[in-house]
Amino acid sequence: MSNSPFLSNCAAETIDDGAAALKAGYLVAFPTETVYGLGADATNPIAVARIYEVKGRPSDHPLIVHIADLKYLDQWIADMPEYAIALARDYWPGPMTLILKRSELAKDFITGNQNTVAIRIPDNSIALGLLEAFHKLGGAGIAAPSANRFGQVSPTTASAVLEELGDYLTEEDSVLDGGPSAVGLESTIIDCTGTSPRILRPGAITVAMIEKTTRLEISKVLDEETIGTNELHIRFSGSLENHYSPKAKVLLDQQPVTGSGYIALTEIPTPPGVIRLAAPKSVEEFAQVLYEALRAGDHQNLTAIYVSQPTGDDLAIAIRDRLLKASN
Ligand code: TXA
Ligand code: MG
């Protein structure tokens, strides 16, 4: 490929080059602890427009602004309730995005014309290094959606980023390789514009963690699709990207048929003739390997991938949320 983006290891110099490229208006995909992000200067409308183009994503779809430290938060927001301050103190840097009332700096091209802005401080040394270097150059924050084409599975490795976006990035853009993402699922998104927190997307920061920190109860409404399973109601405002779909058909909690792929906790045996794609030892490992396992199924041209879902109230809720979307 003549216009292939630069895939780099992550020496200090490379991180500084990445920050300079962002400042100059180019795109830099980078690792975070959740999934890889496709970064652009969050104050540059032309650079942000390229994110939408490269992802093939509708342009009214809001983006998360990533910052390195709480000291860069004020400029982006109008105000912040006490409970959100408590969440920020307890879980940043970490797999949590807060939706807050925006300041003048958060333009419509970031917020999708909403009066709120999504903010996250990621817990990954390369992401934080890139952000710090970018702030040193005068940058306010890096807008970064997951580095996949619209509606596809989020990438948790640099090679998955190249597989998704390699054809759409130019040689001035780059992909920083930080190895596999530690968490493997997108951040918990919490709407902090009301009197109590509301989960818009479940993730590794769980209901119990949020309730413990804020001492507030999160409203648990049953969703039409999941009534009877006691699942959290997820109102995913502004969200169209809820497919997370591989090419293979994803089937949940059914007996896998011969020739199909299978993902389940390690204690569940593989039926004869079924292709085991992952056998994680814990719910945490399930989250880590899930997206790569779905990709592996596609690489093997499987038509169906069966998944035995993990049970439980914590990270398992986020896993079941993504699997439900993948199976629709
Ligand atoms: O873990 C993550 O959050 C990753 C890494 C790269 O940080 N990012 C990520 O971004 O998942 P994205 O764009 O793929 O998903 C962010 C979601 C979008 O679906 C968007 O609708 C929602 O966040 N969002 C962003 N700003 C919002 C806002 N102001 N109000 C409500 N939802 C918002
Ligand atoms: Mg995404």
Q: How far is the CA of 36 from the centre of ligand 2 (A)?
A: 10
Tell whether ligand 1 has an atom less than 6 A from the beta carbon of residue 64.
yes
Residues with Cβ < 8 Å from 161, sequence gap 6 or more? 29, 36, 38, 147, 148, 155, 175
Each residue's pLDDT tens digit, 73-132: 999 999 999 999 999 999 999 999 999 999 999 999 999 999 999 999 999 999 999 999
Q: How far is the CA of 13 from the centre of ligand 1 (A)?
A: 29
CA distances from residue 205 to 51, 254, 317 in whole angstroms, order as listed: 27, 29, 11
Best mutation site among 60, 97, 242, 321 for ligand 1 pocket (most ligand atoms within 8 Å of CB): 97
The pLDDT-based confidence of 221 (bands split at 50, 70, 90) is: very low
Which residue has the least CA distance to atom 24 on ligand 1? 62
Tell whether ligand 1 has an atom less than 6 A from the beta carbon of residue 50.
no
Point out the ligand 1 atom lying closest to the alpha carbon of residue 95.
1
> Do 199 and 218 contact (CB within 8 A), yes or no?
yes
Please tell me the predicted confidence (pLDDT) of residue 328.
84
Check whether 231 has a pLDDT greater than 60: no
pTM for the complete prediction? 0.94
Tell whether ligand 1 has an atom less than 6 A from the beta carbon of residue 181.
no
Point out the ligand 1 atom lying closest to the alpha carbon of residue 146.
14
H or E stretch covering 251? strand 249-252
Both tokens of residue 282? 């814990």
Point out the ligand 1 atom lying closest to the alpha carbon of residue 66.
7
Please tell me the predicted confidence (pLDDT) of residue 10.
74
Angle separating helix axes 12-23 and 125-136, nearest 10 degrees = 50
Tell whether ligand 1 has an atom less than 6 A from the beta carbon of residue 320.
no
Residue among 31, 94, 112, 55 nearest 243 (CA): 55
User: How far apart, in whole angstroms, are the C-alpha atoms of residue 263 and residue 261?
Assistant: 7
Q: Which ligand is nearest to the CA of 51?
A: 1
Share of the chain above pLDDT 70, in %: 90
